[in-house]
Amino acid sequence: MEAASGDYSGGTLRFVKRIPKYPVSTTDTFRELAAARPKRADALRNYEKLIAAARDAFAQDGTSTSLEEIARRAQVGIGTLYRHFPNRQTLLEAVYVDELEALCRTADDLADLPPWDALVGWLHRFVGYLATKQALAQELLSYVDRDADLFRSCRTGLYAAGEPLLERAQQAQVVRADTNLTEVIQMVGGIAKIASAEPGQIDHILDMALDGLRYRAPTA
């Protein structure tokens, strides 16, 4: 095996150590992973308990949390965990996809709000998503390349959720027309990475930054 080396991962992910293990993601698209959820009610309950336990464990103790600890938190046997997730990679991918799906669903939940409120509400939730996403993505880069289908399809899903909110706000002339979702995500991603911020400060900084997105009529 080749020694790990620093590699630039782009976007909100920076220099990380990548240890090649699997050439591609075990999941072609996040929709395929979502469709692979168990159909039986009892199996689905255990699957969802494991996802929730893994998400909480990764948030509290980091993505290196043992699978045994995740099974204990979910109150299922380790055999049940392995039936759903044969290895750490498949569990990481499932949590990563679950977090993205939750963010995408909020775009639909906010669609009935006025255009500005819907966009701002979604971007505030996007900040919370980034906190989990960055840690998961860095861990997944130990298994797959940043251009793996999993990451590409998740980016597609993210844009499919966010772009209609931004375009609706621009059409309503409450958001300036000379920007796009890529720029907005870059701005919000930078704010989300402020490490020294106190609770509530990130939201305050984000509100100040988002004020710069407001539409302003051209001056005569």
Give the pLDDT score at 128: 84
Structure confidence at residue 33 as a pLDDT band (50, 70, 90): low
3-state secondary structure of 15: strand
Closest CA to 56 of 197, 48, 33: 48
Residue 26 C-beta-side C-alpha neighbours within 13 Å: 16
pLDDT higher than 50, residue 43: yes
Percent of the chain clearing pLDDT 90 (strictly above)? 50
Give the pLDDT score at 16: 31
* CB 97 within 8 Å of CB 154: yes
Instruction: Report the range of poorest mean pLDDT among 44-48, 91-95, 214-218.
Output: 214-218
Structure confidence at residue 160 as a pLDDT band (50, 70, 90): very high
Which sign does the torsion angle of CA 194, 196, 200, 204 carry?
negative
3-state secondary structure of 7: strand
